[in-house]
Each structure stands twice: as structure tokens, then as C-alpha cells.
Amino acid sequence: MPETYQLRCVVSRALELLGRRGAGHAAAVTLAVTSGGRLTEAGLRREFEALAAGTPLEGARLRFRWQAVRYRCGTCLRSFRSVEHLDRVRCPGCGGTALPLGPVGAVVLQSVETASPAHGADRHPHRLGPRG
């Protein structure tokens, strides 16, 4: 499953960031997810929790930022954004079939907030760009 690979990469990157900071545990993890694919919040949460078990990410709050995908109509060439599943996307102008201009169903680590056991939860989000 592509989402499993993507989440493995996210977990690996988050653990790398925690290690670099010398942080003991993550309080929250925010994922940017492009819509249009078959990904669901429940499925991503379940997969993340399984991959994070036994790591400093276990028990971290998982947040999602769903992002619209940009499409171009094959008939009238109109560009538009949509959060609909790829199979249901139609051009709002002419009803034609549209193709995505970017990734559909991509999962990217956006931030990790650390928790320090000695000081309670400290918010130190590490913002990452699209390439992490």
C-alpha cells in the first residue's frame, strides 16, 4: 500500500527530528495530506499508530491538514482545485474530465511538537517544507 510506505517515511523523519533535538517524546504530529486519493483520516491514524508503537511517537496527537489538489480540464483547459476523490472530479465549468496537476493522496510530515517529561508539554513545532 502506498500510504504504508508514505507513513513509514513520515515516522522515520519524525523520529530523526526528535533525535536531532534530543527530545524524549512527541506531543503532537501534524501531517499534510493531499486529497483526491483513497486515504481516510481513520486509516491514516490506524497505520500511524501501528508504526509509532514502541517509539517516542507513540501516544502523540495526530493532526491532519487536508489540502486540495489542482486539476486541469481536458476539454476546456480550465484549472481548478478540488478535495473530491479523483474518480468524482469533474470540471466545474463544462463538466469535462479533469486530470490532477500534482500529487493525489500524498502524505507529508508538516510538524512535530515535542514533550519534555521534566517540563510537561513544550510546544516546539518544527516546520518542514514540501520536501521535508
The 10s digit of each residue's pLDDT in 81-112 is 998 888 899 999 999 999 999 888 899 999 99
Give the pLDDT confidence score for residue 118 in this predicted structure. Answer: 45
Give the pLDDT confidence score for residue 126 in this predicted structure. Answer: 44
Element (H, E) at 11: helix 2-21
- Which pLDDT band holds residue 3 (cuts at 50, 70, 90)? confident
In angstroms, the CA 31 to CA 19 distance is 19
Task: Answer yes or no: is pLDDT of 17 > 70.
Answer: yes
CATH 3.30.2320.50 matches 2-116: yes
In angstroms, the CA 121 to CA 130 distance is 26
CB 64 within 8 A of CB 10: no
Element (H, E) at 100: strand 98-100
Structural domain spans, the chain: 2-116
57, with CB counted inside 10 A (0-12, 13-18, 19+), is buried
The 10s digit of each residue's pLDDT in 22-59 is 878 899 999 999 987 788 899 999 999 999 999 999 99
pTM equals 0.75
- Which pLDDT band holds residue 115 (cuts at 50, 70, 90)? confident
Give the pLDDT confidence score for residue 76 in this predicted structure. Answer: 97
Give the CA-trace dihedral at 11, 12, 18, 24, to 10 degrees.
70
Residue partners of 117: CB distance under 8 A and separation at least 6: 24, 25
